[in-house]
Amino acid sequence: MSNEKTAHIISHSHWDREWYMSLEEHRYHLVELMDDLLDMFKNNPDFHSFHLDGQTILIDDYLAVRPQKKEEVEHYIKENRLIIGPWYVLQDAFLTSSEANIRNLLYGLKDTNKYGQKGQIGYFPDTFGIYGQAPQLLKQAGIEVAAFGRGVTPTGFNNQVFHSDDYSSPFSELKWESPDGSEVLGILFANWYSNGNEIPVEEQKAKVYWEKKLNEVDKFASTSELLFLNGCDHQPLQKDITEAISIANRQNSEVVFKHSSFENYIRNLKKHLSPNLQTIKGELRNQKTDGWATLVNTASSRVYLKVQNDYCQTLLEKRLEPMGIFAINKDRYRDYSEFYWKMLMENHPHDSICGCSVDEVHKEMETRFLKVKQGVEKVSTELGNSFAVEIDTNHANKDAIPFVVFDTYGHQHKKVLTKKFHLKKIYFDEMSFKEIPKTLERLSLPNFVVERADNKVVDCAVKDLGIKFGYDLPKDGFRRPYYAKEVEVTFLYDSKRAVGYERCFLVPHEKDVIKSSPNIWDSKSKTLENDNIAVAINENGSYTVKDKNTNKVYRQLGIYENTGDIGNEYMYKQSGDELTVTSENNRCALEVVNNTSLSATVRLTNTLEIPTKADDALKKEKSSLVWHPDRKAERGKEKSTIVIVTELKLEKQGKGLKVTVNVDNNAKDHRLRALFPIGETAEYHFADSIFEIAKRPNNPASTWENPSFDHHMQRFVSLNNKYGLTIATKGLHEYEIVDNSTICVTLLRSVGEMGDWGHFETPEAQCLGENKVEFMLIPHKDDVISSNSYLDAYSFPYNPLILQQKQSNGSVDKQSSYLTWNGKGLVLTALKAGEGENEIIARWYNPTEQCISLEVESAGKHNEIFKSNIVEEKLEKIGEKKGVIEVKPHEITTIISNSKITK
């Protein structure tokens, strides 16, 4: 290390848009900060720059109040004095999807480039752990450095290494490597992102301050370039910072103090870096800690938010974006796509989607989720209808009802689908609205079959839903209200297309074909059964699953476990009495909801008598700011009965059992989990993460003290020995492996305070009332990767868009495929229209340890196929019409194809 040291002082403010105050309350202080910043830039040329927390949305938040400042803001951004990006928001890494993480970077870089800057660092200042593929994402976006505050444990004193392993680093500088081998320089905020905050200008205080701060940074700095971050959470601008720096330079002859930026710091740092830095591989999840401050239980705070987010992400990724391929007006589609992605990402900051803010914040989040849901569903439907009206939908039978199925999943798939149809509509201008319902009620309900585009007939089940009110909104006229006879149609849909559409018909049939096949539920044996699995219902409401392909039996699945929770929105802490209530010795009520040869659903009603809330000691501990590991409150004596309604659904040819759980929660301060023993023990398990199926140990490191060892998952968790069980979920993100043999999935966590630095009551975090969650159990041989069961897990939330049409002439063919690909084992994560008129962007990742050959063929003639990256730049050309590329283990691969409809 050089004798002369340089202290890089970077002004910043870590800005949670919403947290312990609402968005608008925080915005008030953001406007004050930005106003002060603009004055500082104007009046103090020695004030080098300000780092705006790595997120561009703050510019939008400010200009929404001060639109007249837009030109001034743009000026300082172009001068590289106001540093923005590369993200749109500082989102949580584990609770938002793989593609949401990319959209965050994509739209953040788009904003950054618009203002004349280039994203410099992958900034994760307070992210609650970071996924292992982050270096690969950053490298593909042209970013070589990541800066973060959590996930890696610094070790050593005065650069003397006491221990070194995969979870820790002796220095604040390190190498961070993704599973595919991509590597970036990691900057660990070993002394946090406030280590240069509020620098004194008074001589004696400044001397004491710098003696302490320099010593702290010296412990972890591997070079003579020292990093000091002048700011903290919602920190106002230090207006006398340049004066404070001048005083520091007068007092210290061995250190040069500079008002700096990350760009300057990194440029100088790289000149002195040792090639022998510690390499950290994969996920950064604070593995080498005592386990009490990992914030992992934000994965189960306010589960209702996670469920809504999962639904909205699925709508955007598997419906709106792929439907853009069919859009007549691509620009219009792209505008909507960006608009709703950005609206959804307003819910993705770590203190928002993690459910660890005050109630006011999460109320507003629910409104945003609803707006995204309504908007995306509307735009997708309009895109589909605008395309579908061009298809020839005539049929020899004039009573046949045409409909179009849009395949937007990207994989060939087989699913039992359910769709509501109007058998007949009568408009108010055709008959008195008082007479219409009576007329429709007199109509008989015929039997039906579904006729595919190849003229093959598929059985279907039809349920009469009665008379429904509706309305049409013509493109060239006033609204037209009507009543319609509505039915619900269920049929097995086997799609051979990755991307495309198919025109089908609901055709009246002479006899009820569906009744000729055996039903899935057998009342005598109390068993659901198809070709793949058999599910027997136990008296206590648990279920025993037999995998008919391997003959492996999984017993007593779905037992409910309830414990007291005296923690907070960030962390679970079991009550001091450790009282646990389970459904193991219960007796449940059973009801058959429906039963056909296509699907069957049974409803199991269970109750748990649990303490109504924690005892009064918890209130005292919270108000006294007792940290959650030190709390000792017990569960109270008063009891409440919570009703748990479980619906088990098995579908024809389905590989998994679908489970819906409704919890009527009238108790506080507790956690509810479902338990799934596999009957064997294992050392490791697998969990879906961001562009990765992470392999994690079932037991923590030796430093771990927390009795719980909870983890994050994205879509699924899987445990196996010789045989395995995978649990795919819709918005459930927390699990624990107990006794190396049981998967415990958190369904509900009820707590009453935010936690962290003060006393913030959050009564709505108790999640009282109805709570609904969904998951699917998939049995298999071996592990989730070698069995390819991860593909079944990923398909769980997907359902194609189905749109009913009228019979009419059309010039577009009855079915078409837009993109065909082969690459067994690859997971397609993105499918959308590109910037060009006929461009399709598709992205895959390889979760395996082997190279996989990806062959892509686009529709039409003389089309070019290019390799791309996550920021959608065209790289090398890989073929005309057809292209082949090798996808390395754990690699993320994107292609851009000029594609047209095949007629």
Show the tokens assigned to 652. 């024809």
What residues pair up with 461 in beta bridges, in sequence order? 490
Catalytic residue among 126, 233, 351, 688: 126
117 exposure class (CB count in 10 Å sphere: 0-12, 13-18, 19+): buried
Going by C-beta distance under 8 Å and a sequence separation of 6 or more, which residues neighbour residue 503? 391, 392, 393, 402, 403, 404, 453, 805, 814, 815
* Cα–Cα nearest to 740, from 686, 813, 811, 685: 685
HSE (side-chain half, CA atoms, 13 Å) at 834: 24
Going by C-beta distance under 8 Å and a sequence separation of 6 or more, which residues neighbour residue 248? 7, 199, 206, 210, 255, 257
Phi, psi at 270, each rounded to 5°: -65, -25
Show the tokens assigned to 503. 């025109």
Question: Do 725 and 554 contact (CB within 8 A), yes or no?
Answer: yes
Q: Which residue's structure tokens are 């691969």?
A: 893
Which long-range contacts does 38-41 make (Cβ < 8 Å, 24+ apart)?
Answer: 38/69, 38/72, 38/73, 38/76, 40/237, 40/239, 41/76, 41/81, 41/82
Q: Which residue's structure tokens are 């202290």?
A: 7
Label residues 579-601 b or e (16+ Cβ within 10 Å = b): eebebeebebeeeeebbbbbbbb
Instruction: State how far the Cα of 336 lies from the Cα of 313, in Å rounded to an integer.
Output: 14
Report which DSSP code applies to 233. Answer: B
Q: Which residue's structure tokens are 């040329």?
A: 45
Gyration radius (Cα) of the chain, Å: 29
Instruction: State how far the Cα of 619 lies from the Cα of 633, in Å rounded to an integer.
Output: 9
Instruction: State how far the Cα of 128 lies from the Cα of 711, in Å rounded to an integer.
Output: 12
Instruction: Give the SS3 label for residue 566.
Output: coil
Q: Is 126 a catalytic residue?
A: yes
Residue 156's identity, in one-letter code, is G
Instruction: State how far the Cα of 792 lies from the Cα of 314, in Å rounded to an integer.
Output: 15
Instruction: State how far the Cα of 731 lies from the Cα of 353, in Å rounded to an integer.
Output: 11
Instruction: State how far the Cα of 189 lies from the Cα of 288, in Å rounded to an integer.
Output: 16
Instruction: State how far the Cα of 740 lies from the Cα of 680, in Å rounded to an integer.
Output: 8
Residue 854: alpha-carbon gap to chain centroid: 26
Residue 814's identity, in one-letter code, is K
Q: Are strands 5-12 and 255-259 parallel, antiparallel or unpaired?
A: parallel
Question: Do 18 and 221 contact (CB within 8 A), yes or no?
Answer: no
Q: Which residues form the catalytic set?
A: 126
